């Protein structure tokens, strides 16, 4: 197979990767706390020498997370929480601590504040037991029951938020340093919606789909030219 065919196939694969990210955004347009993904192409750092122009083979696809905040939606439920600013809720799972902006919390049978999936929401001293009275959470994350302080939510920030690893259901794993957040506000009775832009993603999906079709036609045309050339050589 020729180098050009390999390069065109690589372009198609990068388009498919981009299409996956856009499709993921569209599918999660109504997922609370979801952060949109963006796939972009970069030239490999060690692909060419100084002053040497790289080719299609040297282009690499990378994905980053758009950590911008989504719109806040009023619910009035005391266990619904949201964040403004560079901050994340921390939750304990069997596989370790995960981060989320999805604040659809509830109180489990043992009285602990847990996520929609049942993961304990972490406070500065560990999981937080909140049953037995009226729950209040102030802007700084201080939790009280019947006006009695019981702990402060463990609100954190990520050193490189664009490198967060999504694991589904609005949950993320940090791949860089996690430190206590400083500039944030906790909102009780509100939820953060997805920050995916449906209209933009739909346009992007159509653009990428058309580009894939164009590359497939170019690949078929070039393959046909090669076959014709080989057949002609055989006749001669």
Q: Does the CA dihedral 158-94-113-143 come out positive or negative?
A: negative
pLDDT > 70 in the chain, percent: 72
Structure confidence at residue 131 (pLDDT)? 85
Residues 139 and 122 in one domain: yes
Residues 174 and 205 in one domain: no
Mean pLDDT (whole number) for 60-82: 90
Residues 229 and 121 in one domain: no
In this predicted model, which residue has the larger pLDDT, 58 or 100?
A: 100
Residues 181 and 204 in one domain: no
Number of domains forming the structure of the chain: 2
137, 168 in Cβ contact below 8 A?
no
Mean pLDDT (whole number) for 25-40: 87
Residues 205 and 166 in one domain: no
What is the C-alpha to C-alpha distance for residues 35 and 70, in angstroms, rounded to an integer?
A: 8
Q: Concatenate the DSSP letters of all residues of 80-149 into one string.
A: BEEEEES-EEEEEETTEEEEES--B-EE-TTSBEE-TTSPBBEETTEE-B--SS-EEE-TT-EEEETTEE
DSSP assignment letter at 153: B
Residues 104 and 25 in one domain: no
pLDDT at 21 over 60: yes
Residues 77 and 127 in one domain: yes
Residues 78 and 166 in one domain: yes
In this predicted model, which residue has the larger pLDDT, 164 or 47?
A: 164
pLDDT at 215 over 60: yes
What is the C-alpha to C-alpha distance for residues 28 and 2, in angstroms, rounded to an integer?
A: 40
Residues 76 and 139 in one domain: yes
3-state secondary structure of 47: coil
The candidate with the shortest Cα–Cα distance to 141, out of 126, 152, 130, is: 152
Domain that holds residue 174: 72-192
Residues 202 and 188 in one domain: no
What are 133-164's pLDDT values in tens digits? 999 999 999 999 999 999 999 999 999 988 89
Residues 76 and 137 in one domain: yes
**Res. 218 pLDDT band, cuts 50 70 90:** low
Residues 164 and 90 in one domain: yes
């Amino acid at each position: 197979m020729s180098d050009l065919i390999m390069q065109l196939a690589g372009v198609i694969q990068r388009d498919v990767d981009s299409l996956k990210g856009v499709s993921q955004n569209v599918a999660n347009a109504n997922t609370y706390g979801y952060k949109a993904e963006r796939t972009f192409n970069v030239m490999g750092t060690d692909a060419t020498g100084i002053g040497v122009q790289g080719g299609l083979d040297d282009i690499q696809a990378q994905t980053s997370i758009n950590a911008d905040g989504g719109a806040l939606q009023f619910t009035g439920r005391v266990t619904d929480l949201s964040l403004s600013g560079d901050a994340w809720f921390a939750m304990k799972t069997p596989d370790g601590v995960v981060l989320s902006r999805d604040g659809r919390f509830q109180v489990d049978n043992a009285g602990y504040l847990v996520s929609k999936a049942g993961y304990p929401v972490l406070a500065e001293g560990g999981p937080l037991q909140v049953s037995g009275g009226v729950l209040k959470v102030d802007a700084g994350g201080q939790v009280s029951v019947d006006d009695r302080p019981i702990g402060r939510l463990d609100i954190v920030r990520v050193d490189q938020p664009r490198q967060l690893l999504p694991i589904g259901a609005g949950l993320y794993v940090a791949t860089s340093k996690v430190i206590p957040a400083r500039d944030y506000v906790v909102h009780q009775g509100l939820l953060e919606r997805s920050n995916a832009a449906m209209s933009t993603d739909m346009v992007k999906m159509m653009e990428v789909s058309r580009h894939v079709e164009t590359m497939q036609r170019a690949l078929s045309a070039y393959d046909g030219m090669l076959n014709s050339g080989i057949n002609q050589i055989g006749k001669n």
